[in-house]
Amino acid sequence: MPSSSASSTPTSTLTWISWFCSLPGHEYFCEVQEDFIEDDFNLTGLNSLVPFWKEAMEMVLDVEPDEDSSKIPDVSIVEASAELLYGLVHQRYIITRQGLQAMADKYEGGIFGSCPRVYCQGCYVVPCGRSDLPGLDTVKLYCPNCHDIYVPPSSRFQALPGAFFGTTFAHLFFQSYRELAPAPFYKPPTATSPGRSPHSNGSESVSSHDEPFVNPNPYGGQKRAAGKVYVPRIYGFRVSERAKSGPRMFWLRLRPENHEELDMVDWRGRWIDEVDDDDDFDEDDDEDDRPMEDFDPVSK
């Protein structure tokens, strides 16, 4: 996996880090500042994970190797170590203030791509690992709107270790940039307004949602969510939940209409007040299906 990309060596004008981040398939990486790597405190524990530690450090920091480095049998081994070292440092760097900012710049440029789910309406995603240790899983993409993870669309990224981004980054990122995090509730547009997608896509947001979006929870996501849920239909009729093939998974994407509804479930996941009846979410379905936006704003 990573060693394949490092077959050529950087030119003299470019640092190893800039060169590494510019390789095809490395678009998700941001450039870690050299002084972050030079601070040993930031590297605590990594030397047990990376073979040829000293040589790898020299390569990453563009330090001229000592003369005794000739005992390394093959430079490609050091290259692999350098990539591993850089990836693991990257995992730590991107949860620092500067690292988060560097990733935010990439995020807003859409470098990580958008959610493949149709009703997330092209919400940008961030890279996300499923493990903090290397060698277990490849990088995934986390969508803050549906809170789910996806396989990167291009095979270029499907070999990238997830540990180079870590399990925490994606969520700390949206905790730090609350204006980028969609809120956990969604009120469908009212019947009088034309069907509207509730966010970003430029021209779409003008007509119905003039008023600024406010999440009553000041610590919550401050972006209007894309809350539509797909409703399967046959010849225009909703597939009944009584059918064996009926809808079973709509809850996975469902949002309550307002913030207060979230408090109707206690910390154990039970309804606090059982009086409200069962069809409150059926109404959501009716509302959800109405809006239609421009021909295909989402597909890549």
Query: Using CB under 8 A as the criterion, which residues of the chain lie in contact with other proteins when the complex forms?
Result: 116-119, 130, 140, 142, 147-151, 153, 167-168, 170-172, 175, 184, 217, 219-221, 230, 232-236, 239, 241-256, 261-262, 264-265, 267, 269-271, 278, 281, 292, 295-296, 298-300
Q: How far is the CB of 64 from other proteins (least distance, A)?
A: 38
Rounded CA separation 28/160 (Å) = 10
* 136/292 with CB nearer other proteins: 292
Q: How far is the CB of 249 from other proteins (least distance, A)?
A: 4
* 105/294 with CB nearer other proteins: 294
Helix (H, G, I), strand (E, B) or coil at 259: helix
* N-terminal to C-terminal alpha carbon distance within the chain: 26
CA distances from 75 to 10, 56, 131, 150, 270 (A): 13, 10, 28, 35, 59
* 65/247 with CB nearer other proteins: 247
Q: What sign has the CA pseudo-torsion 18, 55, 133, 175?
A: negative
* 3/96 with CB nearer other proteins: 96
* 171/209 with CB nearer other proteins: 171
Q: How far is the CB of 154 from other proteins (least distance, A)?
A: 8
* 47/217 with CB nearer other proteins: 217
Is the distance from CB of 162 to CB of 129 less than 8 angstroms? Answer: yes
Q: How far is the CB of 68 from other proteins (least distance, A)?
A: 40
Residue with the two structure tokens 């450090």: 57
> b/e string for 142-170 if b means 16 or more Cβ within 10 A?
bbbbbebbbebeeeebeebbbbbbbbbbb
Q: How far is the CB of 283 from other proteins (least distance, A)?
A: 13
Rounded CA separation 132/121 (Å) = 30
Q: How far is the CB of 285 from other proteins (least distance, A)?
A: 12
